[in-house]
């Protein structure tokens, strides 16, 4: 079995998102330090994370004494209090935390976080809302990932009209200006699909393209 590097993780802010991140890491067997300024929240999570402490993350000395400098990955999961989120990120950046992942509440909040050095900014509500919307358009859309402002990747379960046809016949590149990156068949992943590869029932296509072009494809493959 692959041994994962024993990284030190800390999650600040035990709201819904932070709790879910800390709980998932903990279930995966990693040590997690959970921090919140609300004592009740800390008590609620203390049963299932390695360490849980009450602290205000905008207090530089408090973070220093908790040894946050030595953590490999810190997730800042404070959403509503934008000022606290930004101050916390700044302090951790100055500490030199190698991987700083920060939840943003809005696009503007996200821009500020990127500017002050967050390594990754996540928008859980926006991304989940987008995925739900795409899944609503078509239950065949299993996953939707925005790569940039204009480009996305979709994972789409093949509709019946595509079964038995090969990629050349489906002609996705010419019809929708999108590229099929991979074909998933059960647990197998064909990552360099050829024009002659035939689509089978329950296959999943992983397709990259401009978001506007993918939207046309989504409607036709719904
Ligand atoms: P979610 O939408 O994921 O539930 P919230 O923004 O509602 O996120 O929750 C953020 C959590 O962060 C709350 O539990 C709050 O007590 C905590 N929090 C807010 N400010 C600070 C701070 N300065 N230091 C530590 N924890 C904080």
CATH code for position 191: 3.30.70.1450
Report if residue 1 sits inside a domain.
Answer: no
DSSP character at residue 81: -
Which residue, of 79, 99, 122, is where some domain finishes? Answer: 122
Q: Which of residues 125 and 89 earns the better pLDDT score? A: 89
pLDDT confidence of residue 149? 83
Tokens of 2: 């692959």
Task: Provide the whole-model pTM.
Answer: 0.77
73 and 96 in a common domain = yes
Among 25, 27, 32, 28, residue whose Cα is nearest residue 8: 32
pLDDT tens-place string over residues 79-96: 899 999 999 999 999 999
Percentage, residues of the chain above pLDDT 90: 80
Q: What is the pLDDT of residues 97-120, one digit of tens each?
A: 999 999 999 999 999 999 999 999
Best residue among 17, 36, 103 to mutate for probing ligand 1, ranked by most atoms within 8 Å of CB: 36
Residues with CB under 6 A from ligand 1: 12-18, 35-38, 41, 56-58, 77-81, 84
Q: Which domain-ending residue is among 73, 103, 122?
A: 122
Tokens read off for 101: 């992942």
Length of the chain: 222
Residue 184 in any domain: the answer is yes
Q: How confident is the model at residue 174 (pLDDT cuts 50, 70, 90)?
A: very high
- The string of pLDDT tens digits covering residues 31-46 is 999 999 999 999 999 9
Output the pLDDT for position 44: 95
Q: Report the atom number in ligand 1 closest to the C-alpha of 124.
A: 3
Q: How confident is the model at residue 5 (pLDDT cuts 50, 70, 90)?
A: low
DSSP state of 150: S
Q: Does residue 2 surpass a pLDDT of 70?
A: no
What's the 90 CA to ligand 1 centre distance in angstroms? 16
My answer on whether 84 and 140 are in the same domain is no
155: containing domain = 127-220
- 3 within a domain of the structure (yes/no): no
Q: Can you tell me the distance from the alpha carbon of 171 to that of 34, in angstroms, rounded to the nearest whole number?
A: 50
Predicted confidence at residue 13, as pLDDT, reads 98
The residue with greater pLDDT, 148 or 58, is 58
Tokens at 196, concatenated = 């002659």
- The SS3 call for residue 8 is coil
**Domains: count for the chain:** 2
Distances (CA, A) of 34 to 82, 83, 102: 19, 20, 15
> Do 24 and 109 belong together in one domain?
yes
> Domain end: 99, 122, 145, which one?
122
- CATH code (residue 97): 3.40.50.720
* Contacts with 211 (C-beta within 8 Å, 6 or more apart), sequence order: 146, 150, 151, 152
Phi and psi at residue 110, in whole multiples of 5°? -60, -40
- Specify whether 118 is located in the same domain as 178: no
Based on the domain organization, do 131 and 80 belong to the same domain?
A: no
Domain match, 185 and 146 both:
yes
Region 184-203: what's the mean pLDDT?
94
Residues 171 and 84 in one domain: no
CA distance 45 to 208: 39
The pLDDT assigned to 127 comes to 87
């Amino acid at each position: 079995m692959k041994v994962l590097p024993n990284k030190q993780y800390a999650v600040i802010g035990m709201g819904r998102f932070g709790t879910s991140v800390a709980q998932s890491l903990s279930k995966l067997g990693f040590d997690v330090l959970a921090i919140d300024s609300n004592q009740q929240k800390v008590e609620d999570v203390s049963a299932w994370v390695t360490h849980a402490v009450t602290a205000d993350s905008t207090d530089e000395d408090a973070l220093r004494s908790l040894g946050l400098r030595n953590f490999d990955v810190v997730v800042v999961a404070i959403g509503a209090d934008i000022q606290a989120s930004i101050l916390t990120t700044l302090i951790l950046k100055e500490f030199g935390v190698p991987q700083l992942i920060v939840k943003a509440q809005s696009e503007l909040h996200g821009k500020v976080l990127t500017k002050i050095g967050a390594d990754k900014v996540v928008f859980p509500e926006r991304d989940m809302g987008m995925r739900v919307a795409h899944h609503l358009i078509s239950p065949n859309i299993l996953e939707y990932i925005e790569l940039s402002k204009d480009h996305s990747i979709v994972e789409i379960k093949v509709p019946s009209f595509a079964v038995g046809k090969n990629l050349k016949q489906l002609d996705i590149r010419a019809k929708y200006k999108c590229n099929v990156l991979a074909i998933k068949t059960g647990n197998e992943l064909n990552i360099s699909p050829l024009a002659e590869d035939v689509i089978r029932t329950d296959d999943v296509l992983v397709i990259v393209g401009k978001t506007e072009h993918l939207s046309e494809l989504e409607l036709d493959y719904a």
